[in-house]
A = this chain, B = another copy of it.
Amino acid sequence: MPKQKEQFEEMRLQTIQKLQKAGLKLFAQKGLAATNIKEIAKEAQVSLGLLYHYYSSKEELYLSLANEAMEKSRLLAEQMNQLEGSVGDKLSLFVEAFLNGVQKEDGIYYFIIISQLFETGNPEADRQLLDKKRQAIENLARLVEQGQKDGECVEGDPFQLAAALISATQGIASFRLMFGEGFGLPDKSILLRILTK
């Protein structure tokens, strides 16, 4: 590839990253409807017209971020499952990853985006995101089920247990965003205890 094309490609990437970062922050803080595209362009230091070069609509930018968030979550689950070790070790990794993530600026925004519901008003898009959320819970539920067989997890409906943990993480991310660093994150043990003996 000639030098020039690489440079353009570099610029493209930078612009996209700036837009993603700005969109992520604002969508997480205010939701899709309350965020306006001009504000995103301003935060990203990019002109309005350029934004529309990369995303055909506000909704598309939002969906790309929501899908990215779900993808990150899926990758974590995959990583967790590939880990050699007991169910307890895996859950521990999961909770740790959450607690680490929620302390980073972008990380918390991804968690918040995931927790948002019915933002687009587009039934198809909303349903797809919903499915991914359900799958994430189900993945964790399967792990819990395994943990119950191994005697590491508490008894009870695995889906309910998994949902309880994920609920707690979402609530915590939400409080963290609301209160800022003044909201001390709970110890790993507090969260782990929801699922393990």
| A residues apposed to B, CB below 8 Å | 29-34, 115, 117-119, 121, 130, 133-134, 137, 154, 156-157, 159-161, 163-164, 166-172, 174-175, 177-179, 183-187, 189-191, 193-194
Contact = CB atoms under 8 A, between A and B. Distances in A.
Nearest to A165: B168
Contact of A115 (B174, B183, B186, B187): B174
A187 B33 contact: no
A29 B118 contact: yes
Nearest to A191: B164
How many copies of this chain are found per oligomer? Answer: 4
B119 A34 contact: yes
A62 to B, nearest CB: 12
Nearest to A182: B134
Contact of A189 (B133, B156, B167): B156
18 contacts: A30-B33, A31-B33, A32-B34, A117-B178, A130-B178, A137-B175, A154-B190, A160-B184, A160-B185, A161-B190, A163-B172, A163-B183, A164-B168, A164-B186, A164-B191, A168-B168, A190-B194, A193-B193
Contacts of A29: 118
Contact of A157 (B154, B157, B187): B187
Contact of A167 (B30, B172, B193): B172
Contacts of A171: 115, 163-164, 166-171
